């Protein structure tokens, strides 16, 4: 029997050096730029400060992954919103409030 693991762990996410600038450019060109650019810049600044304190790039990488996912999923979100389907009743917030009383 071997002491080696039977699987290979996933490689950690490490973006290419130009990814933050490319992502920022994509956000500026997005129809959501008025909301997304300031939000990205706030999150990036907070992650940068965290990285300075912790000497770890993990917070910066997490911000990049989160925003890349938002940009990638935006067309699907737009298509769903344009489909006219009303999912507002999917979560019954009133029922939850009633059960808590």
Look up the pTM and report it. Answer: 0.71
In Å, what is the CA distance from 91 to each residue of 27, 40, 84, 99?
Answer: 31, 29, 18, 14
How does pLDDT run across 57-95, given as a tens digit for each residue?
999 999 999 999 999 999 988 888 888 776 666 655 555
Most confident of 8-17, 44-53, 80-89: 44-53
* DSSP designation for 32: T
């Amino acid at each position: 029997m071997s002491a080696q693991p039977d699987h290979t762990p996933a490689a950690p996410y490490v973006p290419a050096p130009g990814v933050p600038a490319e992502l920022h450019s994509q956000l500026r060109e997005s129809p959501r730029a008025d909301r997304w650019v300031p939000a990205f810049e706030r999150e990036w600044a907070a992650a940068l400060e965290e990285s300075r304190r912790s000497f770890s790039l993990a917070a910066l990488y997490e911000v990049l992954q989160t925003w890349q996912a938002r940009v990638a999923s935006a067309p699907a979100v737009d298509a769903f919103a344009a489909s006219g389907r009303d999912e507002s009743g999917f979560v019954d917030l009133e029922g939850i409030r009633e059960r808590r009383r």
